[in-house]
Amino acid sequence: MGTGLYRKLGVAFVLLLLCAAGAHAQIATPIDAFVGYSYFHANAPPGECGCFSMNGATGEFSTLLVHGISGLVDFGGYYQGNVDKTGRTLRVETFLFGPRYSTHHWRKVTLFGESMFGGSTGSGTLYGPNATTSGTASGFSMAAGGGVDLNVSHRISVRVLQADYVMTRMPNFFDNNQNNLRVNFGVVFHFGQGR
């Protein structure tokens, strides 16, 4: 992943933490912020499995709406420097929003499931006319999945596993749909009261 995207994700996450920390004394609603590593297994086109792996990062922000249900904002960036051994590069960014249901039946473990909708952008030489010229594409995206958080303390959890099916719609010279698997690991920071 390019340093520019890492910088953008880092700045966005730091701003998110600062806003949440500043609001901590004034709010009673729990707010969670997640940052972590993402493995993104891309499948384009389906059928022949033009599959390749990408590495990147994901950041999330969620706030409790009603008992067990949170509103979720999820953004991620993933990169591959040699797509399917063609020498072409690809950077994918996803921006997703939707509900998450979490269960807190166990003190040390939180299970959750989610469904999200939004958009994605792709850039790099994969979308260019040749292996040295970059291009861009964008389209609709959706995701569904779930995961497990290990609650280390009242303020911090470790995301042991999050797995999501992520569908993106960008040009692929077949049907313009990609069926992807995303796996996240990382840290969740909890702000607010009533968690």
Could you tell me the residue range of the domain that residue 22 belongs to?
Answer: 3-191
Per-residue pLDDT of the chain (195 residues; tens, 9 = 90+): 445 555 665 566 555 555 555 544 455 578 999 999 999 998 765 456 668 999 999 999 999 999 889 999 999 999 999 988 888 899 999 999 999 999 977 889 999 999 999 999 999 988 878 778 888 999 999 999 999 999 999 899 999 999 999 999 988 777 888 899 999 999 999 998 654
Work out how many domains the chain is built from and give that number: 1
Residue type, position 55, single letter: N
Neighbours of 108 (CB within 10 A): 9
CATH number of the domain at 109, please.
Answer: 2.40.160.20
The set of residues, in sequence order, having a beta carbon less than 8 Å from that of 126 and lying 6+ positions away, is 83, 86, 88, 89, 90, 135
Cβ–Cβ < 8 Å for 76, 58: yes
